[in-house]
């Protein structure tokens, strides 16, 4: 039996699970670069530590989230600087629940 993972979730890494490496994500050193990419090419923008990445719906689904959730539009598809904090809170809570499911599967 594997030990239970009690590692706390960190705001700076919650949006990038280990298994997301199989997706082709666009990485950026600054928010401005990531935002420009989001506006030009679409996708979903996320923070990761001191960087930012933009991914497609498949990666969002791999995070355990619904890429069709209306809250994405409300936040402007931007988790780094969401337009609607309440909608962002719902998406973040959904990600926390997905993290708990991921951890439970590892046990």
Confidence check: pLDDT of 26 > 90:
yes
pLDDT for the residue numbered 40: 98
Confidence check: pLDDT of 3 > 50:
no
pLDDT for the residue numbered 37: 98
pLDDT for the residue numbered 2: 37
Average of per-residue pLDDT across 20-44: 96
The H or E element containing residue 44 is strand 44-48
Angle (CA) 106-72-29 rounded to 5° is: 75
- Taking the CA atoms of residue 65, residue 93, residue 26 and residue 59 in that order, the dihedral angle to the nearest 10 degrees is -20
76: left (phi over 0), alpha (psi -120 to 50) or beta: left
What's the first-to-final CA gap in the chain, in angstroms?
7
Q: Which of 64, 65, 91, 62 is nearest to 76 (CA)?
A: 91
**Residue range 49-102, pLDDT digits in tens:** 999 999 999 999 999 999 999 999 999 999 999 999 999 999 999 999 999 988
Average of per-residue pLDDT across 15-23: 85
pLDDT for the residue numbered 10: 60
């Amino acid at each position: 039996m594997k030990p239970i993972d009690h590692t706390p979730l960190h705001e700076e890494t919650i949006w990038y699970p280990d298994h997301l490496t199989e997706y082709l994500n666009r990485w950026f050193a600054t928010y401005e670069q990531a935002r420009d990419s989001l506006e030009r090419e679409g996708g979903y923008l996320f923070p990761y530590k001191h960087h930012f990445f933009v991914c497609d719906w498949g990666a969002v689904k791999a995070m355990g989230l619904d890429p069709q959730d209306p809250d994405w539009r409300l936040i402007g598809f931007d988790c780094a600087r969401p337009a609607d904090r309440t909608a962002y809170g719902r998406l973040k809570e959904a990600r926390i629940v997905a993290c708990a499911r991921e951890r439970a599967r590892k046990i």
